[in-house]
Amino acid sequence: MENQILPQNKRDAIINECGIRDHWPVIAKSVSWDYGASGTYGFGSFNVRDRFHPLGHSGYFETDFVRQYWVPAVAGKPIDFSITDTKGEGSPFWFGMLRIPFRWLIVVGAPVLIAIAAIPLVQHLGICLPGKEYRDGTCVAVRQLKSKREIAARISDLLVDIKKTLDLKQGVLFPRMQTFLNDSTDENWDRVRSSANSLHTHVEKSLDEITTYDAHLVRDGSNVILMVR
């Protein structure tokens, strides 16, 4: 069409009516590669007359607008500037946020979302990440116990911990309490309180380890595996 219009007439023959309150062209440009925001901001071309109006989407098809702007243009009358052109009014400031190229976020974010959504499906098929194995319908971290000796060492550590707790109570705390009952001095009381605090700290640490430890042993052929969730 542009090539059919004489150069000196192009600017008055090709008119782009822009709605400064129309956010859809801005969004279309932000999320796609095939659309632009010329319906809001104009083409900015010497051969096209961008004429701006305080309209939203499809406001150009109102009867009053057609009569005021389109009929004179079709009739060949001189093309006037709009009231918005003369005032220099622009689009709302928040339109600037719509100009962010969200299409790149879609390109980058879509594979990430697909990968996250695929994790339950992959686990359902029994496929797990390195360092995990599919057990009891889910992927769990596993640690191969190489020998019964390693299991025995872990049990031994637990027994030592229990013995230490009993020793603190029966071998230290109780005797100091008896000493305080026989001789109620501040020094003896401080010793009782110190022993009680040590025992309390030790018990709390052990309880915390127990309540946060979710694991069990399973047999896999000739191997024993520690399953840690």
pLDDT for the residue 17 = 92
CA R_g for the chain: 40
Is pLDDT above 60 for 82? yes
The stretches of the chain forming alpha helices (DSSP H) are: 10-13, 24-31, 38-41, 63-65, 71-74, 83-87, 95-98, 102-124, 148-166, 174-182, 186-211
Is pLDDT above 50 for 207? yes
Is pLDDT above 90 for 52? yes
Q: What is the pLDDT of residues 115-168, one digit of tens each?
A: 666 666 555 556 676 667 666 666 666 555 444 556 666 667 777 777 777 777
Nearest CA-CA partner of 226 in 148, 188, 216, 181: 216
pTM of the predicted protein model: 0.43
pLDDT for the residue 201 = 81
Q: Where are the domains of the chain?
A: 2-102, 132-228
